[in-house]
């Protein structure tokens, strides 16, 4: 059976208990009734699509403006394209995006090397600040790593013998 929209205003009692003062979203939302005329607004001029923009399948197309930073590319881009075939309700949207983010990190390192730039992980992680403000912690961490490494090396060399 098909659903048909009824003339709701003829339903007995329709709207008789409506209280326009009962607006729990005020003052965050200044209710004007625009929700019910939502297609009547004039959209702003549309930004030209200069790079590939993926959009949620929960909307018909792009918004009037959007960011053009880091368009999808490579393997991570292919995964992102897959993710955007699924709605924001689905894990198959978000999990692939997280996977793509991690792959994108490796792609970034490869890109850096291709451009002749060897990433300085210590500098990028702000280790200088650690050394300046948390020298004791850095030394403790270094000692712990050295101790674990020494134990592992000892165990491995014992096994070989």
Partner 1 sequence: MLAMNYRGPYRVRAEQKPYPEIEHPNDAIVRVLRSCICGSDLHLYHGMVPDTRVGQTFGHEFIGEVEEIGPSVQKLKVGDKVLVPFNIACGVCPFCKQGLYGNCHESNPMATAVGGIFGYSHTAGGYDGGQAEYARVPYTDVGPTVIPPDMDLDDAVLLTDVVPTAYQACEMGGIKEGDTVVIFGAGPIGIMAARCAWFFGPARVIVIDHIEYRLEFARNYAKCEAYNFKSLEDPVLFLKKTTDWFGADVCIDAVGCEAEGNTLQTLTGRIALLQAGSGTALQWAINSVKKGGIVSVVGVYGPPYNMIPIGNIVNKGITLRANQASVKRLLPKLIDHVQSGRLSPKDIITHRIPLKEVSDAYNIFSSKLDNCIKTVLIP
Given the rule CB under 8 A, which residues bind partner 1? 24, 27-32, 34-35, 37-38, 41-45, 47-48, 50, 53-56, 58-59, 61-70, 76, 80, 83-84, 88-89, 91, 93-94, 97-98, 100-102, 104-105, 107-109, 112, 119-121, 123-130, 132-134
Alpha-carbon distance 56 to 62, whole Å? 9
Q: 74: alpha, beta or left, given left = phi > 0 and alpha = psi -120 to 50?
A: left
| CB of 36 or CB of 159, closer to partner 1 | 36
| CB of 16 or CB of 129, closer to partner 1 | 129
Q: How far is the CB of 160 from partner 1 (least distance, A)?
A: 34
Other beta carbons within 10 angstroms of residue 79's beta carbon come to: 21
Q: How far is the CB of 78 from partner 1 (least distance, A)?
A: 14
Q: How far is the CB of 6 from partner 1 (least distance, A)?
A: 25
Cα–Cα distances in angstroms (integers) from residue 131 to residues 78, 115, 137, 139, in the given order = 40, 30, 9, 9
Q: How far is the CB of 77 from partner 1 (least distance, A)?
A: 9
Among candidate residues 43, 80, 81, 79, the one with its CA nearest the CA of residue 62? 43
Contact between residue 44 and residue 62 where contact means Cβ atoms under 8 Å apart: no
| CB of 6 or CB of 42, closer to partner 1 | 42
């Amino acid at each position: 059976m098909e659903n048909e929209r009824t003339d709701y205003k003829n339903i007995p009692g329709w709207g008789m208990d409506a209280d326009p003062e009962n607006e729990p979203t005020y003052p965050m939302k200044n209710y004007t009734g625009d929700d019910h005329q939502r297609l009547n607004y004039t959209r702003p001029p549309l930004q030209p699509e200069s790079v590939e923009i993926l959009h949620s399948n929960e909307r018909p197309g792009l918004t009037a403006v959007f960011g053009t930073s880091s368009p999808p590319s490579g393997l991570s881009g292919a995964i992102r394209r897959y993710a955007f075939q699924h709605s924001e309700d689905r894990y198959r949207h978000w999990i692939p995006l997280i996977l793509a983010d991690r792959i994108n990190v490796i792609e970034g390192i490869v890109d850096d090397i291709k451009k002749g730039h060897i990433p300085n992980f210590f500098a990028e992680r702000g280790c200088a600040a650690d050394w300046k403000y948390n020298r004791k912690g850095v030394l403790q961490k270094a000692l712990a790593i050295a101790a674990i490494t020494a134990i592992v090396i000892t165990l491995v060399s014992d096994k070989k013998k």
